[in-house]
Structure 1
Amino acid sequence: MSLSVSLTAVPGIPDVQNGDDLARILGDALVAADLTPQAGDILVIAQKVFSKAEGCIIPLSTVQPSLEALKYAEKLNKDARKVEVVLRESSRVVRSFKRPDQNEGTMICEHRLGFISANAAVDESNFGEEDAAMVLPKDPDASCTVLRAALSARFGIEIGVVMTDTFGRPWRLGQVNVAIGLSKVPATIREQGNVDAWGRPLAVTEPALCDEIAAASGLVVRKDGKTPAVLLRGLDWQPENSSGADILRKKQEDMFR
């Protein structure tokens, strides 16, 4: 049982470019900061650096909006090219709306990876390019696994990797980091069948470990700080073959669908 953990934003990470060796860049930054990974450490890394390294940036000048995109753009006062990118990243639009006090409306979408988010996680900020949109990696779990394997081989230890993105939450203000890709880190910890401190059996308790880790990383990362990676140390966890999809609620359990 972990009684304390440490979270350290990794300094000295340069701007990542398409085709960069992310494992080498992060490994070098860890060594330079005297943060050489130890067995059981978890690297928590923002989606943006994966997307940049994998070329997931789309110049909007190359996007031809569909008729569906044009309709949403008119309704929501959005750039039709960005709407088209959102639609391409989505399996369905759950809802779209624009409040009178908003300049631009929002599309709540089911992403092709299965989660529900605003604008299918398509982003236009904090990646250093104008008139472009950033999308998520095609396979966040695979991206995490490649990185974890390279770093584990370099340092001769086993670590975990969590890829994060920033989501809003229904009925709550603000945004938090959540996990969208995993390598070896459990998505949840199943407590069903255990007992609480008073000996009562636990029937439904299942902490969302990957999202707790992702959210905690946000405590030491600033949007203007260029620190997209956080080293988590001291957590008691057991590696397993996990996936970001493991945190998604099954559709037959969705009371709001």
Structure 2
Amino acid sequence: MRKLNNIPQDNLGYAVLLSLNHGESFGSGFRLKYQNSNYLVTARHVLYNDDFKLRSDFLTVTCQSARAFDLDPLIMEIELDKAKVHYSASNDVAILLIGTNQLESKAKVPLKNDKAVHKRVAFLQLEKYVNITSTGNKFVTSVDSEATRKLDEIRVGNDIFLLGYPMSLRLKEERFFDYSKPLLRKGITAATYPKENTFTVDCPAYFGNSGGPVIEHGEDDYYRVIGIVSRYIPYIVEWVNPREHIVNKEYTNSGYSICVPMDAVYALIDKHKP
């Protein structure tokens, strides 16, 4: 019997905050463990402009613990001009090789059945262009490839969760929540669009959410990352003044968001294996 939503605590530590050029722009992302390597995954437009040029020379990655009482994050500074970073020309996704995973012990059971508090514990050998500027906590979580799902496995109507950093909601005088911690948003999968390799969720996203993980609560009561946030779908109101031939369009957030499935992530990684 499928249980009520009770998202596993380690899932709450998936999303990382991305800061470019020391705070000029922000985005979200997550770390992925795949074939003994550790990757930063995000939306292409977070790292690249419309001309496919990197937006910044430096990228700051803030990794929070899944445990609310761990206040000090792990912070990495990445030299983008030296990094092994790649983007997809057809999908809004980018990857960056962080390092190599060395498992402390061999997996004995499928991840789905692993009841350990800390699953697949690994030591991370960083690439030379990745510098740790704050060691922070030791409970940083990467998404295991076994805890993901591809587009043809996604079930329309399943509950989903968006994790990320909607920094556009920020007000300088706001002091009642911590902008350095990810926010969780809940919705459902509204549709899949295999032709364009995307899916739609009935869940609002805002500037800063781009690149953050989308987590599905499966029909088997297992939680999997199924993709990344790309953009919201706007609701357009058009005002027309026929006498003056003036057209004014107002764009608001419809509450629906476009996401890129994990298929695009794995295709990009396999294309640029180290």
Q: TM-score range by the shorter chain?
A: under 0.3
Q: Which has the higher helix share?
A: 1
Q: TM-score, normalised by structure 1?
A: 0.25
Q: Structure 2 length normalisation: TM-score?
A: 0.24
Q: 1 or 2 for the larger relative contact order (CA 8 Å, sep ≥6)?
A: 1
Q: Which protein is richer in strand relative to its size?
A: 2
